[in-house]
Amino acid sequence: MAEPGFTLIDDGRAVEVTHGAGVERAARAREAGRPVAMDLLERAAYLGVAAAERAAALASLEAPDFTLPDLDGRLHTLSAHRGTKVLLVAYASW
Amino acid sequence: MWQATYEELRSFGFTIITVALDKSPDDARPWIEAAKPAHPSLIDTRHVVADLYNMVNVPTIVWIDARGLIVRPNDVAFGTDTFKHLTGLEAAKHLGALRAWVRGEAAPLPDARRRQLQPLPTETDQQARAEFGLGQWLFARGRGEAATRHFERAGELAPHDFTIRRGTMPMRGVDPMGPKFREMRDAWAKAGNPYYRPLPE
């Protein structure tokens, strides 16, 4: 019988691994100082980004880059706007 | 909300990027279709930007200069006075400062001051974001009940993070404008905490 599967969500991407490999990699990420959220019933773990890494990036004052879709699914990247001033606005319907 | 400001200032080498921290494009769609923005208007269901910039509520604005450097860290500002009756925050003050910066009439904050004002996440904040991330992934796969467990855990870890506590309400079947929200906000205020955290003068 095949070993039951497990989903690891790392850097926003989900990969399917065996249950054993998933739990093992989640434990290693935790040892490496990364935040890990795990759900053994759902057989999934989310590997986040360590506070130290985020803090170092923000303390450098360099604006963290990102790529996100618009309503039509077209992707936009912050750094493509280098050379212009940018007002970044996070909002929500809630 | 921001289209008029974009039109006014775009000729100075300026753009606006709005990012909706919503559970689906359809939640943000009515707002975007009403505003008809000519600037990028993006959807961030996974709260990528909140994680990268350590944002804990909306609206949060950041000024980024032409070199790609943060010159005004996480601040609270509205593009119009539509919600002034609810928030008590006026758009004009920020707009005045923004105009002066974009037109090159005023220098942004000095580096040392920016570093001092830039909020940095703690390990607990990042654990909360991981719980949110797992919850959001589960929610997107129709695992609402499991998602709620992780959203609630995230909110316990980071009670100051309303992108989590309020932002997950629509994914937990809770009205984010309703009594549960007001109860949460009032309890938070009663404990002496601000719901909005604009930069100090």
ipTM (interface pTM): 0.97
B163 vs B175: CA distance, rounded Å: 14
Which residue has tokens 């129709």?
B142
pLDDT at A79: 98
Concatenating the DSSP letter of every residue in B130-187 gives HHHHHHHHHHHTT-HHHHHHHHHHHHHH-TT-HHHHTTTGGGTT--TTSHHHHHHHHH
Per domain, the residue ranges of chain A are 5-51
Which residues does chain A have within 8 Å of residue B170's beta carbon, measured at their own beta carbons?
94
Contact assessment for residue A59 and residue B118, using Cβ atoms and an 8 Å cutoff: yes
Provide the shortest C-alpha distance from residue A64 to chain B (in Å).
6
Across the interface, whether the CB atoms of B52 and A85 are under 8 A apart is answered no
A26 interfaces chain B, CB cutoff of 8 Å: no
Contact assessment for residue B20 and residue A93, using Cβ atoms and an 8 Å cutoff: yes
Nearest CA in chain B to A60: B115
Residue B135 backbone dihedrals phi, psi, to 5 degrees: -60, -45
pLDDT band at A11 (very low <50, low <70, confident <90, very high): confident
CB-based contacts of B96, cutoff 8 Å, min separation 6: none
The overall pTM is greater than 0.90: yes
Concatenating the DSSP letter of every residue in B81-132 gives STTHHHH---HHHHHHHHHHHHTTSS----HHHHHHHS----HHHHHHHHHH
**B45-74 residue pLDDT tens:** 999 999 999 999 999 999 999 999 999 999
